[in-house]
Amino acid sequence: MPKELLLQVSPEIASNELLLQDYLSKQMKVSAREIKQVTILKRSIDARQKAIKINLKVLVYFQDDEFVENKIQLPDYKNVSSAQEVIIVGAGPAGLFAALQLIELGLKPIVIERGKDVRGRRRDLKAINVNHVVNEDSNYCFGEGGAGTYSDGKLYTRSKKRGDVTRILELLVAFGASPDILIEAHPHIGTNKLPEIIQDIREKIIEMGGKVLFETRLTDIIIKNNEVQGVVTQNGDTISASKIILATGHSARDIFELLDRKKVFIEAKPFALGVRAEHPQSLIDSIQYSCDYRGEHLPPAPYSIVKQVGGRGMYSFCMCPGGVIAPCATSPGEVVTNGWSPSKRDQATANSGIVIELKLEDFKPFAKFGALAGMEFQKSIEQKAWHLAGDTQKVPAQRMIDFTQHKISSEIPKTSYVPGTTSVEMGQVFPGFLTQILREGFSEFGKSMRGYLTNEAILHAPESRTSSPVRIPRNPETLEHVQIKGLYPCGEGAGYAGGIISAAIDGEKCALMIGKCLLKK
């Protein structure tokens, strides 16, 4: 009978199947020939001591045990071309996984997406990086796969619903992701590999009778007697349906404005805002692994850090080992940063958002905008950064120690941010209270991670799209909007998710509630 074991081994043993089998034979006091197969169930790194170890949960099969490889397969989707239609607004993870779930239930998804497919998006990403031109409908935030497609592909979540997480991961594997995402403590697909997986999901939706309409922007929601009846697109076309999943992402400001104009109840939501800090990856490795060189068996080191400064949380966000910083503006006249890593995380730099928790009271100067006060606060900082950096997609930048000491950096070295940087005193970008917290916080970070506070680190501003500045309230039982029947606010843009996995889970939850409502009739 197979035996499950918890191990702590060196990185070299963990990365070599033969060495691991030899290690197990000695630990279990059996001949290596008696071991038929070793399957790794879970893997994580323990870097708390100088001698770094890899934690493994393994299943050991012996010669008499039957070993059957666990092949992850897609559900048995049926064709839904003639089934009842449900509109999904947005082709990010919430929208795409909602569509798959609807097909599994026997309903037909009509996905409308303002941006382009993954291939079409590439040209627009090049335009913003090279020519500083922002396409408001196709950029790092908008388009097939949403913000996650070209901004990293991290798959870990704090969600407690592990069964749901496993289901999403298995679906991703079935669509082509590496099975390693099922065993890693912090799974990651990589920006270079995620687009093909997203494309395969879209092709499956279409193959099963669903529709995916690109370059189709929602301009109105048809509401009668507080019930949805369909949507209107920018071309004036009407698509009718009694159920709409609104999964537009955290940057769809026009949707928030549309709901506000139509007096559909929304509310301001606190979010976090700050800078994106870039260090040499070798420096982060030396801090985290306590060594001069991490070697070939350890991955580029991540970090996670949280401090309370001035009564607010200041923390690392979306940390990208071996990654780069990208321009993520969604309109001309603003600058926004984000980070991503390729699957191998093999770039020379590491970056992370370093952000501060905001409170509703911070938005008081924008109170006249009502529920959109937080969004206007966010916009004001992005627009100020644009002007300070020269009215281009360059970003305000400053060396980290210079920032803490109120010094303008005499020169900024080339960073991974392709459009370029402009040396600016960061205090000009943010309100005074945020600047002060950032300065104190970086000094505190340096005490916890010796070597982190350095002028080798370059701060880029702002990191402002951490989550939605608006919440679209919904009934916790039915998941419908509290006021409008048939409208299902969903995912990050509605304030109910914070990443690929949690957004995908929320998309499935909304689809299941719609199925429960429609299929009982």
Q: Please indicate, yes or no, whether residues 277 and 225 belong to a single structural domain of this protein.
A: no
Tokens coding 455: 């002028």
Name which of 229, 279, 142, 312 is nearest 487 in CA terms. 229
Q: Is the dihedral of CA 143, 146, 147, 151 positive or negative?
A: negative
What average pLDDT does the structure give for the chain?
Answer: 94
User: Do residues 276 and 147 both lie within one domain?
Assistant: no
CA distance 500 to 197: 13
Answer with the one of 62, 93, 109 that is the final residue of a domain: 62
Residue 72 falls within a domain, yes or no? no
Residues 324-366 have pLDDT tens digits of 999 999 999 999 999 999 888 899 999 999 999 999 999 999 9
Residue 119 lies in a domain: yes
Predicted confidence (pLDDT) at residue 521 exceeds the cutoff of 60? no
The mean per-residue pLDDT over the stretch 436-451 comes to: 96
- 514: pLDDT strictly greater than 80: yes
Mean pLDDT score, 313-320: 95
- Are residues 193 and 247 located together in one domain of the fold? yes
Is-contact 478 72, C-beta < 8 A?
no
Q: What are phi and psi of 156, to 5 degrees?
A: -90, 155
pLDDT of 193 above 90 = no
What is the pLDDT at residue 68? Answer: 85
Extract the tokens encoding 31.
Answer: 């001949």
Residue 475 and residue 367 share a domain: no
Residue 163 in this model has a pLDDT that exceeds 70: no
- Split at pLDDT 50, 70, 90, the class of 152 is low
Q: What is the pLDDT of residue 191?
A: 79
Q: Judge if 474 and 385 occupy the same domain.
A: no
Element (H, E) at 411: none
Mean pLDDT (whole number) for 168-173: 95
Whether 301 and 289 have beta carbons less than 8 Å apart is answered as: yes
Give the confidence band of 216 by pLDDT, cuts at 50, 70, 90.
very high
Residue at 340: amino acid letter: W
- DSSP, collapsed to helix, strand or coil, labels residue 40 as strand
* Total Cβ atoms within 10 A of residue 508: 23
Q: Which of 472, 254, 248, 500 is nearest to 379 (CA)?
A: 254
- For 219, counting Cβ atoms within 10 Å of its Cβ (0-12 exposed, 13-18 middle, 19+ buried), the class is middle
The domain in which residue 117 lies consists of 85-266+470-519
User: Quick check: is 100 in a domain?
Assistant: yes
For residues 260 and 274, membership in a common domain is answered with no
- Rounded Cα distance, 471 and 264, in Å: 12
Looking at residue 149, its pLDDT comes to 83
Answer with the one of 421, 447, 463 that is the final residue of a domain.
Answer: 463
H or E element at residue 10? none
Band (pLDDT 50/70/90 cuts) for residue 147 is: confident
Do 98 and 245 have their domain in common?
yes
In a domain, 336, yes or no: yes
Whether residue 227 has pLDDT greater than 60: yes
Question: By percentage, how much of the chain surpasses pLDDT 70?
Answer: 98
DSSP labels, 106-135: T-EEEEE-SS--HHHHHHHHHIIIII---B
Residues 262 and 233 in one domain: yes
Going by DSSP bridges, is the β-strand pair 312-320/349-357 parallel, antiparallel, or unpaired? Answer: antiparallel
Joined together, the tokens standing for residue 162 give 């592990």
Residue 71 within a domain:
no
In this prediction, residues 254-277 reach a mean pLDDT of 98
382 lies in the same domain as 438? yes
Is it the case that residue 162 has pLDDT exceeding 50? no
What was the pLDDT predicted at 244? 98
From the number of C-beta atoms within 10 Å of its C-beta (0-12, 13-18, 19+), residue 291 rates as: middle
CATH code (residue 225): 3.50.50.60
Q: To which residue do tokens 């970090």 refer?
A: 303
Do 327 and 383 have their domain in common?
yes
Mean pLDDT, to the nearest integer, of 466-494? 97
Structural domain includes residue 80: no
Pair (261, 276) in one structural domain: no
Overall pTM surpassing 0.75 (yes/no): yes
* pLDDT at 160 (0 to 100): 55
Query: Given a cut of 60, is residue 371 above it in pLDDT?
Result: yes
DSSP characters over 57-94? EEEEEETTS---------------TTSPEEEEE--SHH
Identity of the amino acid at 108: K
From residue 353, alpha-carbon distances to 309, 451, 481 in Å are 16, 18, 32
Residue 349, domain member (yes or no)? yes
Strands 211-213 and 108-112 come out as: parallel
Domain boundary pick from 47, 62, 77? 62
Query: Residue 349 is inside which H or E element, if any?
Result: strand 349-357
Q: Are strands 306-309 and 218-224 parallel, antiparallel or unpaired?
A: unpaired
CATH assignment at residue 28:
3.30.70.2700
CA-CA distance, 488 to 478, in Å (whole number)?
9
The least confident of 45-49, 158-162, 193-197, 312-316 is 158-162
78 in a structural domain? no
**Domains in the chain: how many in total?**
3
Q: Please indicate, yes or no, whether residues 283 and 174 belong to a single structural domain of this protein.
A: no
